Amino acid sequence: MSTDERTRSLLASGIVVGPLYLALGVGQGLLREGFDFRRHALSHLANGPYGWVQSANFIVSGLMVIAAAVGIARAGGREFRWPSRLLGAYGTAVFLAGFFRADPVPGFPPGTPETAASAMTTRGLLHFAVGGLGFVALAICCLLAARAFGRRGQSTAASLSAAAGIVVVAGFFGPAYLPSMSAALVALWIGVVAGWIWLTVTSAHFYRTATIVR
């Protein structure tokens, strides 16, 4: 396998990881008893009898994001050194989220009392902390990628990256200022999906431009 073939293999991880993560998460949400998309985030699926599925989803997705970061570093060159490092930091955060489960919340898993939301365990705090750091890293990654694309004269990619960075940070931190749980979860979903879309599109961009030497 040539160097470019290895790079494209790494970038392929970035293309598929977002759809794979979301499909597995949404599938669990539809099948798991008591889960309500209006009240619960995908992170909460790590609780209960089948919580290991979501934990594995985090771990595998994190490793795939790290692989994509290496691919972008190879394909993007010096200008994408910092964006790729920050993307790797985001992948590490996703990976660690698989070990630090979010706390149970009222209604999920079934039987969790309403008082469950009044206290946060150390494990739950660590989940929130690595998630916050990960989203910040991803947002800055997108903004630095926008600058790098702009320097190359790729205005469409630059605009997409800038927009993604703004939406990601707003989606994670904006819910603290929203009046209802449903609105907060919608904002979080928008931020999460925007980040995955950016990674898919950016990985696909570099995948197409990588030259295969046979």
**pTM (predicted TM-score):** 0.92
CA 104 – CA 118 distance, rounded (Å): 11
Number of domains in the chain: 1
* For range 63-90, the mean pLDDT: 96
Count CA within 13 A, CB hemisphere, residue 164. 29
DSSP state of 135: H
Residue 86 in tokens: 């920050």
Residues 69, 13 contacting (CB under 8 angstroms): no
pLDDT per position as a tens digit, 46-73: 999 899 999 999 999 999 999 999 999 9
Strand partners, 97: none
Domain assignment present for 130:
yes
Residues 104, 44 contacting (CB under 8 angstroms): yes
Count H helices, E strands: the chain?
6, 0
| Residue 176 pLDDT class (50, 70, 90 cuts) | low
Domain assignment present for 160:
no
N-terminal to C-terminal alpha carbon distance within the chain: 9
Amino acid found at 114: E
DSSP state of 200: H
Q: Please state, for a pLDDT cut of 90, what percent of the chain lies above it.
A: 73
Domain assignment present for 28:
yes
Domain assignment present for 174:
no
CA 173 – CA 107 distance, rounded (Å): 24
Distances from the Cα of 186 to the Cα of 13, 123, 156, 174, 190, angstroms:
27, 25, 26, 10, 6
Domain assignment present for 23:
yes
Q: Please state, for a pLDDT cut of 70, what percent of the chain lies above it.
A: 93
In the numeric block, the tokens 């190359």 are attached to 152
Calculate the average pLDDT of the chain. Answer: 91
What pLDDT is attached to residue 73? 95
Domain assignment present for 119:
yes
Of the candidates 187, 185, 136, the one whose C-alpha atom is nearest the C-alpha of residue 165 is 136
Question: 128 is in which domain, residue-wise?
Answer: 3-138+203-209
pLDDT per position as a tens digit, 103-144: 898 888 888 877 666 678 899 999 999 999 999 999 999 999
What pLDDT is attached to residue 172? 83
Contact residues for 143 (Cβ-Cβ < 8 A; gap 6+): 161, 162, 165, 166
* For range 17-46, the mean pLDDT: 94
Domain assignment present for 36:
yes
Domain assignment present for 172:
no
Of the candidates 141, 110, 153, the one whose C-alpha atom is nearest the C-alpha of residue 203 is 141
